[in-house]
Structure 1
Amino acid sequence: MKRITLSLLVAASALIAVSSPAAGQGKYPERPITFVVPSAPGGTTDFTARLVTEQLAASLGQPVVVENKAGAAGNIGNQTVARAKPDGYTLLVAYSGYQVGNPHLYKKAGWDPIKDFVPVAMMTRAPQVVVTRMGLPFNTLQDLITYAKANPGKLNYASSGNGSIQHIAGEMLQQQTGVSLTHVPYKGAGPVVTDLLGGNVDLFITTPASVVSHIKAGKMKALAVTSDSRLPSLPDVQTVAEAGMPQFKLDSWFALYAPAGTPADVVQTLNQAVNKALMLPEVKKRSEESGTTTEVMTPAQLGSFTKKELDFWGQVIKKANITLD
């Protein structure tokens, strides 16, 4: 009788182990991870996503695939991740202009930066650089302002979409100088760069990563960078303070988020792997050469930072009087 009872207990235990949701689950990750980029290839968000994929694949033992989902000023990509299964396999490489700007610009963005996402890791930060197409009759920011005042409405400026930081930057430039510029929105920085090189748009205020190689090649002109000091990648380009506009400062950041509900241990694994990659000398060098800097944060630090930025950019957007929908 004891043997029968023992056999039944062993069989029951085996059945429970097979039917348990946790049974058969190995250590994360067990399959490829997808980085969703809510913009077109070629911009700084895309650059940031690809900056660490090789290192993460080696560290985690699984491929990290970048998937560009541009459209609706980042809302399509953000919605995709917000609605994804919270298992750590679909992640968002967020651009600050979308992540903390869109919630103030759209009444129905389709996602919430706090409720729908779990902060994973900060990745890069970058100032903006004011660039123009070749052939325009000015080489400095002050000359641009003088020309624009003498030719109101003649110059246009591009952005990666309505409500993007490039859009806000253009509006801020007009407010602070009194010039009149025409806004031309695109779906991401990549297409803007193509048209800027082709001479189809005049001005672009963007993060350096997407334009620094073209500036160095003499295919577009850099007038100023919106930082306190000159960039190592663009040492000959003035800061906005040197150009006589110290108040015109803008900073972008790019960070990794997971869908709300993603297990804490998965978030921690990702955070440690990303931070490890960001601290590698070759990654830091590549980031610096692009005009960005790597930055390490814990998930908790990124969470606090996100909330502060959400409040700050809400005030900036309200002051700039930009509304969408």
Structure 2
Amino acid sequence: MMRSTRRGLIALGTAGIAMRARAQETRYPERAVTIVVPAAPGGGGDFTARLLGDALTRSLGQAFVVENRVGGSGNVASIAVARAAPDGYTLLLAYSGTHVANPALFPNLAWDPVRSFAPVALVLRAPHVIVVKKDLPVRDLADLVAYARRHPGKLNYASSGAGTIQHIGGEQLAQLIGAPMVHVPYRGAGPAMNDLVAGTMDLMITTPPAVVGLVRDGSIRALAMASRARHPMLPDVPTAAEAGLPGFELEAWFGIYAPAGTLAPVVERLSAAIRRVTEMPEFRRRSEESGTYPAYMNPAELAAFTASELATWSDLIRRLDIKAE
């Protein structure tokens, strides 16, 4: 009799949890949701969070507020969300340059990209383009490869800082070419691009919006997209594979994660809302104007993608001996 009663209580408890989860799914969100961004206003992550937040506010009827948490190369924001209540009201707008690169760049992190978070949805991807100063004696990527091999260690490339995706991409390019290049880290992409235009730097790998105007007016030259497809902002620029260097792809991405332990119905409701938003023509138009493109993944797909990206970037960073500042 006691066993039967205990089984009944367990069944009631399980049913109660399921009922609470369904009730929370139905009501969520009941108040404002905070999207924490590991970067200052004005960058790609901030743009993504605000574009997504505005659309979700209209779709779900509650405010999605962006909070910029700068510091620690993105670690401050990741820690804040990892330690937040797992109720769906504090979310992380994760950037690949920190989310899957920092574990290899910083020992003893206080957060883990897999164990600390519940994947919600991949939102946008951002391809990169190889650009050179206008008077570098190369006309295309094949010329650059030949020039680098004839002058090993002579070419320098700029990045927005040590350990950034631009730094990693530069070292990956040098490895594929088979000739070393000199890395020159800057404090931000703006100063790096200024020196490329001035001719102090030879090369940079960055996102299209930062260079479209400069390419069009002849201030710099675009050689190839480090992606699988050409970009609508630079339709005449071939992919690296088309230009003779298959295997060189460099795409950043932005995704939404909740603290680990967030109820599955909340994650699923939020993910479904993000899917609907990313399919809207206005969202696609605005993202493409920024140089990105919608690339929705559901929670299960994002979980597998996160694990794969973590392994890929960790191996690359260790193999190339890349260090953070």
TM bracket (short chain): 0.7 to 0.9
- The residue aligned with 1:132 is 132
**Higher Cα Rg, which structure:** 1
Q: State whether structure 2 residue 290 is matched by structure 1 residue 286.
A: no
Asked if structure 2 preserves the Cα contact closer than 8 Å seen for 1:86 and 1:259, the reply is: yes
Q: 1:264 to 1:210 in 2, by over 3 A?
A: farther
The offset of 1:278, in angstroms, is 0.3
Asked if structure 2 preserves the Cα contact closer than 8 Å seen for 1:43 and 1:188, the reply is: no
- The residue aligned with 2:23 is none
The offset of 1:324, in angstroms, is 4.7
Deviations 1:73-124 (A, max 9, x none): 3223222322333332322111222211211222123210011111111101
Q: State whether structure 2 residue 240 is matched by structure 1 residue 255.
A: no
Correspondence 1:15-26 to 2 at 5 A: none
- The residue aligned with 1:60 is 60
Paired with 1:77 and 1:210, the residues of 2 have a C-alpha distance of: 25
The offset of 1:133, in angstroms, is 4.4
Letter of the aligned partner of 2:68 in structure 1? N
- The residue aligned with 1:5 is none
Paired with 1:225 and 1:134, the residues of 2 have a C-alpha distance of: 17
Q: Normalization by structure 1: what TM-score?
A: 0.79
Paired with 1:83 and 1:166, the residues of 2 have a C-alpha distance of: 30
**SS at 1:92 equivalent:** strand
The offset of 1:236, in angstroms, is 1.0
Deviations 1:281-302 (A, max 9, x none): 1212222343322122221221
Q: State whether structure 2 residue 318 is matched by structure 1 residue 313.
A: no
Paired with 1:200 and 1:41, the residues of 2 have a C-alpha distance of: 28
Paired with 2:194 and 2:264, the residues of 1 have a C-alpha distance of: 41
Q: 1:295 to 1:229 in 2, by over 3 A?
A: closer
The offset of 1:156, in angstroms, is 3.0
Paired with 2:52 and 2:88, the residues of 1 have a C-alpha distance of: 17
Correspondence 1:3-82 to 2 at 5 A: 27-82=27-82
Deviations 1:258-281 (A, max 9, x none): 122323333223212211110001
Q: 1:75 to 1:214 in 2, by over 3 A?
A: farther
Letter of the aligned partner of 1:270 in structure 2? L
Asked if structure 2 preserves the Cα contact closer than 8 Å seen for 1:106 and 1:324, the reply is: yes
- The residue aligned with 1:104 is 104
Asked if structure 2 preserves the Cα contact closer than 8 Å seen for 1:223 and 1:238, the reply is: yes
Deviations 1:210-264 (A, max 9, x none): 4445544555432210123322221111211232211322333211111223233
Asked if structure 2 preserves the Cα contact closer than 8 Å seen for 1:125 and 1:251, the reply is: yes
Letter of the aligned partner of 1:260 in structure 2? A
Q: Normalization by structure 2: what TM-score?
A: 0.79
- The residue aligned with 1:240 is 240
- The residue aligned with 1:223 is 223
Paired with 2:210 and 2:57, the residues of 1 have a C-alpha distance of: 24
Q: 1:227 to 1:66 in 2, by over 3 A?
A: same
Q: 1:71 to 1:31 in 2, by over 3 A?
A: same
Asked if structure 2 preserves the Cα contact closer than 8 Å seen for 1:43 and 1:190, the reply is: no
- The residue aligned with 2:273 is 273
Q: Which runs of 5+ in 1 are unaligned?
A: 1-25
Asked if structure 2 preserves the Cα contact closer than 8 Å seen for 1:212 and 1:291, the reply is: no
Paired with 2:156 and 2:176, the residues of 1 have a C-alpha distance of: 17
Letter of the aligned partner of 2:50 in structure 1? R
Paired with 1:312 and 1:155, the residues of 2 have a C-alpha distance of: 26
The offset of 1:305, in angstroms, is 1.6
Q: 1:252 to 1:266 in 2, by over 3 A?
A: same
Asked if structure 1 preserves the Cα contact closer than 8 Å seen for 2:148 and 2:177, the reply is: no
Paired with 1:301 and 1:187, the residues of 2 have a C-alpha distance of: 34
- The residue aligned with 1:121 is 121
Q: Which runs of 5+ in 2 are unaligned?
A: 1-25
Letter of the aligned partner of 2:132 in structure 1? T
Identity of aligned residues (%): 53
- The residue aligned with 2:84 is 84
Deviations 1:123-180 (A, max 9, x none): 0123321123455444423333444456555543233433232211111122222433
Further displaced range: 182-191 or 105-114: 182-191
Q: 1:52 to 1:160 in 2, by over 3 A?
A: same
Q: 1:185 to 1:46 in 2, by over 3 A?
A: farther
**SS at 1:296 equivalent:** strand
**SS at 2:265 equivalent:** helix
Paired with 1:100 and 1:131, the residues of 2 have a C-alpha distance of: 25
